[in-house]
Amino acid sequence: MKASRFLAFTAALAVASATVTVVGAKAVRQPVFNAKADVAAIKQVEEILATEIDIDKVMPLYADNAVVLDLFSPGIFQGKAQIRAGFAPQLAAIKSIAKTTPEMTVATNGRFGCAASQIAYQTVMKDGTTFAMNVRVLDALKKVDGKWLVVQQHLSFPVDPATLTAQTSAPIQPRTLAWSAHPLAPVSTTPANGKAQIREWMDVGGASVGLEKLMNYYGPGDDTLLYDAFSPKALIGKQEIADFYGPIMGSYNGISLTMPLFAVDSDGSFGVQIDTQHLTLNMKDGTKRNVALRQSDCMRRVGGKWYSFMEMVSYPADAKTMKAQMAY
């Protein structure tokens, strides 16, 4: 009897030790990464957002203070009233919509979540016209009263670097992200501190000079995904990101940054931020360039430091010319 109790106790202790780490006298619960129910619920939200054309069925999926960066300039919606005003005319003009989602990556700790997707749309308009377009989406979600709501949404097309035109039909090249054994660390700071640290992360990291400094903000492992404005496919892993950004980071030797829009949320382990940026670049050839871009990040705090592990950088397109709006 004593032996059986000891074995039962040992088994229970083993299970507990897999989910709880003791720090000093305080137990810190390990995050549950991508629980099936949460992933399914997030995918259901994404499915409705991608296919529903009734604005009254779409709006309940957004948090009251949600921020959206839309495909076309100016394309900045803050709060549900602006989101409704921005999306209602677009949806009202559509007769029917079909889509496939060749690529979707979801990450969640049960409190926050992100979904990065590339979606191929086939649309019939009420005026009889038809069109197809491939869209990239990075949504940040938060569980509020047991329901997953979008708090940040970033939509974009990749841009042709030669013509600076939005590539609405760039072929989708599906990528798969292989998660590390422990994608997320336990909560290690307060939500308020997390938000402040992420703001500092953007102020400093957004003004990086040199590739080595920039790469300190991704990771910490290779389970990292980036949708950049000039790459039609997802960049996965730090080496792909470094190879892609190397020439860009080597072209200037000074930078200043302001963020007209910045929104952030965090639970102290998982963080999400979305912003618009005005950058002044001091190029190595002696010229200066003013650049306006948008960025959103899903972030994790590991070892007391924040890292981006899902990111989108983009420019809105002019709806008439389809040129990327890159200057301010």
Torsion, Cα 121 124 125 130, to 10 degrees, reads 80
pLDDT band at 19 (very low <50, low <70, confident <90, very high): very low
Q: Which residues contact residue 143 at a Cβ distance below 8 angstroms, ignoring those fewer than 6 apart?
A: 38, 110, 111, 112, 113, 149
319 belongs to a structural domain: no
Task: Tell me the C-alpha distance between 88 and 69, whole Å.
Answer: 15
Encode pLDDT of 57-95 as tens digits: 999 999 999 999 999 999 999 999 999 999 999 999 999
* Residue-wise pLDDT tens digits, 108-160: 999 999 999 999 999 999 999 999 999 999 999 999 999 999 999 999 999 99
Q: Are residues 41 and 151 in the same domain?
A: yes
Residues 230 and 149 grouped into a single domain: no
In this structure, the answer to whether residues 198 and 133 fall within a common structural domain is: no
Q: What is the DSSP string of 291-322?
A: EEEEEEEEEEEETTEEEEEEEEEE-PBPTTT-
Is the pLDDT at 9 greater than 80, yes or no?
no
Look at residue 201 and tell me if it is in a domain.
yes
Same domain, 226 and 307: yes
Domain end marker among 156, 182, 200: 156
Residue 219 backbone dihedrals phi, psi, to 5 degrees = 120, -140
Kindly state the average pLDDT of the residues 168-178.
Answer: 95
pLDDT at residue 25 greater than cutoff 90: no
Question: Do the domain assignments include residue 258?
Answer: yes
Which of 156, 176, 209 delimits the end of a domain? Answer: 156
Instruction: Please check whether residue 151 is in contact with residue 141, taking contact to mean a CB–CB distance below 8 angstroms.
Output: yes
Judgement on whether residues 201 and 250 belong to the same structural domain of the protein: yes
Q: Do 273 and 214 share a structural domain?
A: yes
Residue 298 resides in a domain = yes
| Helix runs in 134-208, H state only | 191-205
Tell me: do 68 and 152 sit in the same domain: yes
CATH label of the domain that carries residue 82: 3.10.450.50
In a shared domain, residues 65 and 121: yes
Cis, peptide link before residue 316, omega less than 30° from 0: no
Structural domain including 47 reads: 36-156
Residue 15 has pLDDT above 60, yes or no: no
Asked if residue 281 is part of any domain, the answer here is: yes
CA atoms within 13 A on the CB side of 115: 27
Pairing of strands 147-156, 62-69: parallel
What's the domain count of the chain?
2
Give the CA distances from residue 264 to residues 132, 134, 136, 140, 272, in Å, rounded to whole numbers and listed in that order: 33, 28, 21, 10, 6
Shared domain check, 40 and 150: yes
31 pLDDT tier (thresholds 50, 70, 90)? confident
Whether residues 203 and 299 share a domain: the answer is yes
pLDDT at 28: 60
| 185 has a pLDDT exceeding 70 | yes
Q: Are residues 234 and 304 in the same domain?
A: yes
Give the pLDDT band (50/70/90) at residue 30. Answer: confident
Q: Is 60 exposed, middle or buried (0-12, 13-18, 19+ CB in 10 A)?
A: exposed
Establish if 161 belongs to a structural domain. Answer: no
- The residue among 136, 156, 176 that closes a domain is 156
For residue range 47-60, what is the model confidence (pLDDT) as tens digits?
999 999 999 999 99
Q: Residue 36 — very low, low, confident or very high, per pLDDT cuts 50/70/90?
A: very high
Rounded to an integer, the average pLDDT of 248-267 is 96
Q: Is residue 183 part of a domain?
A: no
The Cβ of residue 292 has, within 10 Å, a number of other Cβ atoms equal to: 16
Q: What tens digit of pLDDT does each residue of 212-227 get?
A: 999 999 999 999 999 9
Is the whole-model pTM more than 0.95?
A: no
Answer yes or no: is pLDDT of 22 > 90.
no
Distance (Å, rounded) from C-alpha 199 to C-alpha 193?
Answer: 10
pLDDT at residue 27 in the model: 55
Q: Specify if 87 maps to a domain.
A: yes
Mean pLDDT in the chain? 92
